[in-house]
Structure 1
């Protein structure tokens, strides 16, 4: 350890302080440079990011504009195509209507043209007949021919016109033949509200007619149901439209319709028919099932098909029920199939009996014809060969010339009886 003076120590401290100050200044300068570089980098990145976002936004906007322009152009093209299709369809319909009008005019004019030609030919023939009668003279009397009066031209009746109009017309349109069928007006169902009309059957018919002919849904049918109503039913519908309980759906209308027109008189008659519903003698199981099911739906709307099978067992013919071999819990299809097989067996049996009876009758007629022929070859005898044999047997058994009994004919094919004369002489010598 060396000893230094106070001046050297102070000088060393000053030098160390100066060196530390320089180092601190250098560090501060480096820190300032780092902060500046960071700030410059941040600013540069900010501008770059902003430019990228702006470029991306511009590209998206350009793409959106291009898509919008493409959509507008496609829409315009589609509108043009739709207008062209509508125009073509209108032109096609006009051509169809023109052809229909031409066909209708031709059909209406054809009978008139033929009648006019027939009238002209009749007039010419009448003129020739008049000339012929004039040349022959007044001595020859000719019978006049009944002909249509002069100047009368028969026209086609309204029924014929409707028949021609409602017939199916086949028209060629753009190389394709289309069949146009116009249904007659009488095919539409109608309901008058009478006691003998079935409201359930009318509802089923009007639903099928509206769907098949007009392609209506339930809402459209509810709005147009008045077209199928008449008399008191139409009056009821008009009152129902202005009532606060006006039905909003087709199901609600059907409930109100059935509640209105399923009268107590009709219910009582149907109830009586239900209690008296039995299968008839010559009624098949299919025919009876249709009649039974119609009454069953009216009288037992909450029952199932198994209940219908029970009613069928109770109401079918006894001969079918005794031959039926299905179980009591069988389905309706199984019961119907089994009964149809039984009906087929009974039909074949009855057919065989009928053929046997016809053969017996034919054989009987043949025997009768043979007997008549034998009588034709024996004019002095009034009886056939079989009756003569019976008379001979009676004669030989009694040995008496007087026979006062009625002698039956025991041949199976001929059951006629004869009464012999009291003065009958023997056919053969004793």
Structure 2
């Protein structure tokens, strides 16, 4: 493995230092470094971060390779600065057995662009009735630690309690898609002024908040870990803040699109803005940003949800829910959190690398940029501004809400254990 010398980078946005990569690890950190035969990466003005970790990615394979594959999804991840992603279980067949999670894990290894950690289903077939093979998935080659029926809520309190009890034995975590199904029947967007004016079925905040309230209480009762997926309302923030004040083992994530976009965009009836949970109000967006800044919300997760053209280019009611996000996540976080002064780059590293890796118990990722650590790194040019062009995406799908929008920042280099997966903004 060749040596790589990164020169003049702002490490975590702070001190300007050189970083030497050798043998897949960080070999030296300092100033004025030199290394015979090393490939030189001039990084003046760029920020060096640990490789990003996504707790919530839909890679669609097996079963929906028309939307995404493990290969195309990990190429998109590398382009966005990610060195590890957690692949959600709502595939076809569902990742509810050791065999399926091992298949996804193997495909990730073969892709070589980032590490893929499968997420196992909580219930068989995501049907919410019987627990899936949680122990077998954990004991498999994939070593599953995170379980979720994402896309569907584990709405049965008894099933949820049993799942929390089961994963406690190996320090696993249940990642809940908080959506009370009876309260969201026929829902199309956030319930509020805009839904009333447009005549679209409303998706009330309480449908999310009531499940979160129940589950933090269950987690406390069991003494287990629960993680809240794509938290989207100000009320949800307050429930998580209260649970954390009790010392309970509760974590939560927010998506980039919920940090930036609001339900006002639905007035266009453009299905690109149709997502689960729905875009909320400006007040919710501000509450989410503040909660990410103060640590109530632990991390940013993309909920990268690719769909083929025909599933989105149709009338609103028939359109699939979801947005792609791997390739724009860091730029959106820069715009909403860094440029507003709510987080510095060290804070971005914490919310997009350190904490998600810790929640997922993911070894080798979310590590300090220090001698001896795996060289999972990303360089970003924060001064860059560019217009989002989905035609240039590495993802197989193009359903981005940011098409034509100018966003800051550009990933110039991504390194996975010392090997460049992105060089000068292009896939290696």
TM bin, normalised by shorter chain, reads: under 0.3
More strand, by proportion = 2
TM-score calculated relative to the size of structure 1? 0.20
TM-score calculated relative to the size of structure 2? 0.20
| Higher radius of gyration, 1 or 2 | 1
More helix, by proportion = 1
